[in-house]
Structure 1
Amino acid sequence: MNWKTATLVSTLYDHAVQNRALSRLGARVLWNYDITHLRAAIASQDPTALTLDIPCGGGLAVDDNPHHIAADISRHMLTRARRRTNTLIQADIYALPFGSSTFDLCLTYNGLHCLDDPAAALRELTRVLRPGGTLTGTTLVRGTNRDPLITLMRRLDIFGNPGTTADLRTWLTDAGLTAIDLTPTGAVTGFTARK
């Protein structure tokens, strides 16, 4: 799917994610995931850290904090995120318009599985992290009992090339990250790593 131009799917997705009851039900039924884990991770962010949030989608993890840069390839999603912040940038996760070692924290919640090359995206996020900086996020993974649904999403061109939890560890390690912590829950794996 071209998330840059797909407005109907992105609007429906954003509406479901922003609605607490609907997102809780959808995450549990579709992915066997308790979305309160994601909401807790978002709430625990350091508001003083210079943060890049990509893809930010409709702005679930965004707050109106000048230290929080929300970025997405989709102009439509940025328009939806604008209701939460004005610090928005249209950017491609494979070629970020920032210098190396810029951010204290990079967030990528529920986006890697939509990409054709998640490993390349993680390398680019690592590039813009300062030494000692943290990369954190969540992604859907293969290797769970939700593989048929992931295959369907790929056929519908909604998902890119999601890996397994083991693939995610390899991608993070190959990007030069350490102190990798993976938390699989249902078909979702949360991750944190340091540069």
Structure 2
Amino acid sequence: MADWRHARLTAVFYDFGVEHERLGRIGGRLLWGADLSRFYGDIHRLRELANGGRMLDVPCGGGVAFRGLPKEGARRYVALDLSPVMLRRAQANAGRLGLPGIGFVQASVTALPYREGCFDLCLSYFGLHCFADPPAALAEMARILRPGGRLRGTAVVRGSGLRQDTVISLCQRSGIFGAVGTAEDLSSWLATAGLDEIGVDRDGAVAFFSARR
């Protein structure tokens, strides 16, 4: 699979499709048979959760979740990604949106540089299917959450139909995707990570997931 630390064109193309809402909605329908209105709506609801919270966004990509953050209010927000290209795009996006105080960290999701229990909320939008080891990634996300902390995210999953599964296989062969499971696999991975109140709702090949530590 692609090394996202160096895959500049892949990173930019991938981020561009998610960042532009109209294009993202079209792509969601054509590629995954999914209505991504819920994804963008979930981002806009972040302003209800952000005030005073400690939040980790992994992988942050180009900062698509930033549009849901209030410009003012107490918060600790860390945007983490393995790709320096993504982090530069995220920094530029934060500047355009006038969002000071975001921390930008380059690191692997399977070795998060934080102690156990130091975040209230972890976001993982459209990144899990790019990882070589999704269960290990989810275990790390669970580790850095405080007791009662929440995990929310989206991921592409198998099992919605031949067309979508074929696109997933093509993305894997091109190095864009890593290991991709089904919605049932995702539920199992979340439980194995020690999380509860698990919710996994599939729309086409896109799974919307949430859980509590």
Settle same-fold status: TM greater than 0.5: yes
> Counterparts of 1:40 and 1:22 in 2: how far apart (Å)?
15
Letter in 1 for 2:31: L
After the TM superposition, which residues 80-119 of structure 1 pair with which residues of structure 2 at under 5 Å, given as runs?
A: 80-85=89-94, 86-119=102-135
- CA–CA separation in structure 2 for the residues paired with 1:42 and 1:22: 16
Aligned to 1:73: 82
Kept in 1: contact 2:150–2:211 (CA 8 A): yes
TM-superposed CA distance for 1:83, in Å, is: 2.0
Q: Calculate percent identity across the aligned residue pairs.
A: 44
SS at match of 2:111: coil
Specify the alignment match of 1:152 in structure 2.
170
What secondary structure sits across from 2:93 in the alignment?
coil
Structure 2 CA distance for aligned equivalents of residues 89 and 186 of structure 1: 32
Residue number in structure 1 paired with 2:208 = 190
Aligned length: 195
Q: What runs of 5+ residues in structure 1 fail to find an aligned partner?
A: none
List runs of 5+ in structure 2 lacking aligned partners.
95-101
2:28 maps to amino acid:
A
The two structures have a TM-score, normalised by structure 1, of 0.96
Q: CA deviation at 1:72?
A: 0.3
Cα deviation, residue 13, structure 1? 1.5
1:82 alignment partner, SS class = helix
TM-score for the superposition, normalised by structure 2: 0.88
CA RMSD after TM alignment: 1.2
Aligned-pair CA distance for 1:104: 0.2
Alpha-carbon shift at residue 40 of structure 1 (Å): 1.0
Q: Which residue of 1 aligns with 2:20?
A: 19
The answer to which structure has the higher helix fraction is: 2
Query: How do 1:27-38 and structure 2 match up within 5 A?
Result: 27-38=28-39
Query: Map of 1:113-192 to 2, 5 A cutoff?
Result: 113-145=129-161, 146-192=164-210
